[in-house]
Structure 1
């Protein structure tokens, strides 16, 4: 059994849908499940629908019409005439969405978000399934909500593994090509839930685990996992192999590799994860697995922009000890700061944070009651795994280094 996941960028238009068929024909699709995200920027467009639902009802239908028009254009490019059943199926899905928008009574934003946002995946997989059937790649469309069960923590639901395993084991037909939605599940009341960040990759991993798959492949528009983000670093190189542990380390430091929650179920059953290019499907890509050495062993660069470096020292030159540090961390937690680097000495404490919730001013005001505080905003945090001297020089050149921390495998540098 193999699981393939295709993201929104791979199916942003009719050409992308046709390319999925081409990928399947080139690499084979026997004993295969395809997990697909919403098409292109559909999730963003549906978020505008949700915003208008709560804040500006006069724009609600026009924003929904934009989503319909986008998908209808793809349908018209894929199917010769509008009598094809795909048009009716998509119209029915949008009718369901409209019924929800007119009958919903819940004021809970997170609940409403999940009920609306999931139509992106339902529509994309329906179009792709119908197209594959039309070109004689016969497949079975699965509503993922009937197989992945979760709690009711809307927008970041937790999987009920036992129930999910039982449903997938009892309902899944391995003898045909199957296609289903990423990102979605359902709770005990059969309301739609979503799995949070990188939810579609996670869906692929859930199915991989429950089906005891041989492998899971995530298809992207890059040749695999690179040692650096090519937007910020020149000459990024392909990593042929990475261990689960290394991938989790890279993700922890902020690399857009694979989210750790995707790796955890695969690691449990030692299922290999591949990252490959849907533009060059026969190229080997990157393999992530157990006891796999990094290949090639080269420095891996990660940068996080727009960070804040907060430096604290005691007002009376007393030591910063456990009690002070406990107070500092309580405040960081209270103001929802994501901590990326910590460094402390006898009378000072520095922390580099991601101000995700715009609470920095409140935090600084609170800290100044107890400490002397310096804050550098809009700094960059560079992390290098498997660093060498040249790699460090490369990121420090022409910058002011505000903080530097080295361990055996990793160096982190905060620069202005």
Structure 2
């Protein structure tokens, strides 16, 4: 059994869907499950739909119509026969979405998000599955919500591994070419949940773990895992081999090519992960596996933007000890803040966090009730793994540094 994952960039238009088919034909698709993301920037577009649903009802239909029009153009490009059943199937999915937006009574943003955003994946997989069938690549469309069972922690749901494995093993016909959605699951009440932004890689790992797959291949619009994001750094290098441990470190610090949760289930069963370019499927790409030393051994650069730096000290200048720090972490957890960096001294404690759930104002109010608080919003967190003096000098140049720290292998700094 092999697991393939194709991201949104690989199916952003009709030619991308055709190329996906070409990749399967070149590398083989026997005993294969293909996980597919929403097309192009559809997730961003649907996030705008959710935003308008809560804050600007007058623009809701316009933003929704843009999503429908985008997929309509792809459909008409792929299917010449306008009576093909795919048109009715996609219309039915959008009708479901329309109905939800008209009838929903829940004021919970996170719940609504998880009921709306998944239509990107549902639509993309329906289109791809029907196109593959049309050209002779017979496949089975699988609703991942029926397989991956989670709790109801909307927007970052936790997998119920026991139930998920049992369902997948008992219901999935692995002899077929199966097409399914990344990112999606469902809770005990069968409401749709999502696994976190960019969670399609994690979906591939979940299926691989449950099916004891021989490997997972993530098809990207880059040559493989690079030592830096080419959108922000120049002269990037391909990393040919990476150990699980190193890849987990890079993912934790924010390397965008790999989802942070993806590697843990693969490591537990020593399932190799390959990252390859969908525009050149015969290329070697990157191999992530057991005891694979970093090759080549070069500095790896990561930047996370739109972060928040919070510095806390006691009101009476007493030491920041265990009881103070435990209270701070309790509040961070309560407000669903993802902590990316920690630094403490005798009388201060600083954290760089990702305000995913927009709870910053509430957190600051709670902290200020007990501590002196300084907050810097919209900062950038830079990380260098395997740093050199030159790498640090290059990355510091021209920036206002708010905080920095070094360990044996890792340099981090927060800048404005």
Same fold (TM over 0.5): yes
After TM superposition, give the deviation of residue 360 of structure 1 in Å: 6.8
Q: RMSD across aligned C-alpha pairs, in angstroms?
A: 2.9
| Counterpart Cα distance in 2 of 1:358 and 1:19 | 42
1:40 paired residue number: 40
| Counterpart Cα distance in 2 of 1:59 and 1:374 | 37
1:14-413 matches, cutoff 5 A: 14-307=14-307, 309=309, 319-330=319-330, 338-354=338-354, 357=358, 359=360, 363=364, 371=372, 379-399=379-399, 401-413=401-413
8 A Cα contact 1:336 1:359, kept in partner: no
| Counterpart Cα distance in 1 of 2:114 and 2:362 | 32
| Counterpart Cα distance in 2 of 1:396 and 1:111 | 41
After TM superposition, give the deviation of residue 329 of structure 1 in Å: 4.4
Q: Structure 1 pair 351/97, CA: closer, same or farther in 2 (3 Å)?
A: closer
After TM superposition, give the deviation of residue 227 of structure 1 in Å: 0.7
8 A Cα contact 1:248 1:259, kept in partner: no
| Counterpart Cα distance in 2 of 1:53 and 1:16 | 31
| Counterpart Cα distance in 1 of 2:255 and 2:19 | 27
Deviates more, 1:341-350 or 1:283-292: 341-350
8 A Cα contact 2:328 2:367, kept in partner: no
After TM superposition, give the deviation of residue 349 of structure 1 in Å: 4.5
8 A Cα contact 2:313 2:371, kept in partner: no
After TM superposition, give the deviation of residue 398 of structure 1 in Å: 4.2
8 A Cα contact 2:312 2:371, kept in partner: no
Deviates more, 1:311-320 or 1:155-164: 311-320
Deviations 1:196-225 (A, max 9, x none): 232211111111111110011111111111
Deviates more, 1:219-228 or 1:37-46: 37-46
After TM superposition, give the deviation of residue 68 of structure 1 in Å: 2.0
Count of matched residue positions in the alignment of Structure 1 and Structure 2: 415
Q: Structure 1 pair 391/171, CA: closer, same or farther in 2 (3 Å)?
A: same
Deviates more, 1:15-24 or 1:335-344: 335-344
After TM superposition, give the deviation of residue 231 of structure 1 in Å: 2.2
| Counterpart Cα distance in 1 of 2:257 and 2:318 | 43
After TM superposition, give the deviation of residue 303 of structure 1 in Å: 2.4
Deviations 1:363-407 (A, max 9, x none): 399559755x66666654332111222222222334455544222
Q: Which secondary structure does the structure 1 equivalent of 2:157 belong to?
A: coil
8 A Cα contact 1:335 1:363, kept in partner: no
| Counterpart Cα distance in 2 of 1:101 and 1:332 | 32
After TM superposition, give the deviation of residue 138 of structure 1 in Å: 1.3
| Counterpart Cα distance in 2 of 1:112 and 1:361 | 21
Q: Which has the larger radius of gyration?
A: 1
Deviations 1:109-152 (A, max 9, x none): 43333233222211111111111111111111112222222233
After TM superposition, give the deviation of residue 185 of structure 1 in Å: 1.8
Q: Structure 1 pair 48/388, CA: closer, same or farther in 2 (3 Å)?
A: closer
Deviations 1:76-117 (A, max 9, x none): 101112022221222222233334344444444433332332
| Counterpart Cα distance in 2 of 1:61 and 1:47 | 13
Deviates more, 1:46-55 or 1:402-411: 46-55
Give me the TM-score of the superposition, normalised by structure 2: 0.88
8 A Cα contact 1:331 1:363, kept in partner: no
8 A Cα contact 2:298 2:386, kept in partner: yes
Q: Structure 1 pair 50/354, CA: closer, same or farther in 2 (3 Å)?
A: closer
Give me the TM-score of the superposition, normalised by structure 1: 0.88
Deviations 1:13-68 (A, max 9, x none): 10111110111112111111111111112222223333444445454444333222
| Counterpart Cα distance in 1 of 2:367 and 2:162 | 45
8 A Cα contact 1:36 1:182, kept in partner: yes
Q: Structure 1 pair 2/250, CA: closer, same or farther in 2 (3 Å)?
A: same
8 A Cα contact 1:37 1:181, kept in partner: yes
Q: Which runs of 5+ in 1 are unaligned?
A: none
1:10 aligns with 2:10: yes
